[in-house]
Copies of this chain bind each other. A is one copy, B any other.
Amino acid sequence: MKVLAILYDGGDAAINEPRLLGTVENKLGIQDWLAAEGHELVVSSSKEGPDSDFQKHIVDAEVLITTPFHPGYLTRDLIEKAKNLKICITAGVGSDHIDLNAAVDHKIQVLEVSGSNVVSVAEHVVMSILLLVRNFVPAHEMIERGDWKVSDVARNAFDLEGKVVGTIGAGRIGYRVLQRLVPFDCKELLYYDYAPLPEAAAKAVNARRVEDLKEFVSQCDVVTVNCPLHEGTLGLVNSELLASFKKGAWLVNTARGAICDKDAVAEALASGRLAGYAGDVWNVQPAPKEHVWRTMKNPLGGGNGMVPHYSGTTLDAQARYANGAKSILENYLKGTAQEPQNVIVGLGKYETKAYGQR
């Protein structure tokens, strides 16, 4: 059996830090085990174009392992060439880089390590909200370059206390964000989702559901995106929706880059409609050098909290998703039932509503 894993390059960092499990060098820690079981493991970061290792090896691999951080984009076209492919495992959470409808059609299972990094991402969201609202980046850059002008920083710094914060999506990550915001004494916590939270869960975080999206964003000082990417959420935050945001709102997106329209966000930030945008997800990954989100700023020269896609790949998260990917593979090899919460696509059908299948 051939197992193909598309991971990111770790370089010296991975050689010096064995806990960087999700790298080409450290191979999710499964190489010795697979070899002992008599299986072949091919690991590479090369994923773009017909000469990539991804496209070369996908034709006869039985198992594909990918991550959201350096996604191997498994299109319908590639799925049709992948004659042996039986199971796709996402080491992490979020399998939108796989054409799920095509996987259903070809009876290829898709599983992810549910919960492996939802806390990691939720923490990143809360951090990003705080650093936008409190204007951290311009303040730190001022110190680094040797300046000191408190007023230039303070003029765009606020407290989170007393603000209205809303999440688009109150699932595994969005709900954890709400939980972490409770003691910050926000004016109100809101959520937008296709289904209401169970009553006890909503009460525990004192969150109110708003059913209309435009109405929802018009009430928020801070909007955070915590829903999966699918046909129904692609480009959801576009110029039309941004026009309904409060002037000077802050937007945090650690879900998927393509949920927000790249140019509409950059324009909203430049015009001051948005006071800040932060997150770690991009419409293409790695983001090109000239991607506008790298350096876009608000009219006061701040409001950019972007980072590469790493919020869910802390060393703590890597231990969890490497273990989880191995468990899924073990279950597959032994024919044991998978944990239900990990199954996105079962044999020929969706097993979750999270990707837009209602």
* Chain A interface (Cβ < 8 Å from any Cβ of B): 8-11, 13-14, 16-17, 19-20, 22-23, 69-70, 119-120, 123-124, 126-127, 130-131, 134, 136-137, 139-140, 142-144, 146, 148-155, 157-162, 179-180, 182-185, 280, 285-287, 289-290, 294-295, 304-311, 313-318
Contact B131 A314 (CB under 8 A): no
Task: Indicate which residue in B157, B159, B287, B308 contacts A119 across the interface (CB closer than 8 Å).
Answer: B159
> Could you tell me if A307 and B143 are in contact, using CB atoms closer than 8 angstroms?
yes
In the complex, A11→B155 CA distance in Å? 11
With contacts A8-B151, A142-B308 known, is A123 near B134, CB below 8 A?
yes
CB distance from A24 to the nearest CB of B (A): 9
Residues of B within 8 A of A307 (CB): 136, 139-140, 142-143, 153
Most B CB within 10 A of own CB, among A8, A137, A154: A154
Given A130-B126, A161-B316, A310-B157, decide whether A10 and B146 contact each other with a Cβ distance below 8 A. no
Instruction: Give which listed residue, B69, B127, B154, B155, contacts A134 with CB less than 8 A.
Output: B127
For the complex, what is the distance from the CA of A126 to the CA of B306, rounded to whole Å? 19
Chain B nearest CB, measured from A116 CB (Å) = 11
- Chain B nearest CB from A181 CB (Å) reads 8
Residue in A144, A285, A289 whose Cβ sees the most chain B Cβ within 10 Å: A144
A159–B150 alpha-carbon span in the complex (Å)? 31
Closest B residue by C-beta to A148? B286
Docked pose: A342 CA to B286 CA in angstroms: 53
Known A19-B155, A124-B134; further 9 A-B contacts with Cβ < 8 A: A13-B151, A137-B140, A143-B306, A148-B286, A149-B308, A150-B308, A153-B307, A153-B310, A179-B183
Measured in the bound complex, the distance between the Cα atoms of B152 and A286 in whole Å is: 14
Contact between B69 and A150, CB atoms less than 8 A apart? yes
Residues of B within 8 A of A153 (CB): 307-308, 310
Q: A9-B151, A160-B123, A316-B162 are in contact. Are A311 and B184 (CB under 8 A)?
A: no
Who on chain B is nearest to A295 by CB?
B144
Q: Is the CB of A310 within 8 A of B127?
A: no
Query: In whole angstroms, what is the CA distance A286 to B149 when docked?
Result: 8
- Which residues of chain B are within 8 angstroms of A149 by Cβ–Cβ distance? 9, 11, 13, 308
The answer on a CB contact under 8 Å between A155 and B315 is yes
Q: What's the Cα separation between A131 and B119 when bound, in Å?
A: 15
A127 contacts across to B, CB distance below 8 A: 127, 130-131, 134, 136
- The winner among A126, A143, A289 for most chain B CB atoms within 10 A is A143
Contact B146 A294 (CB under 8 A): yes
Contact status A123-B305, CB under 8 Å:
no
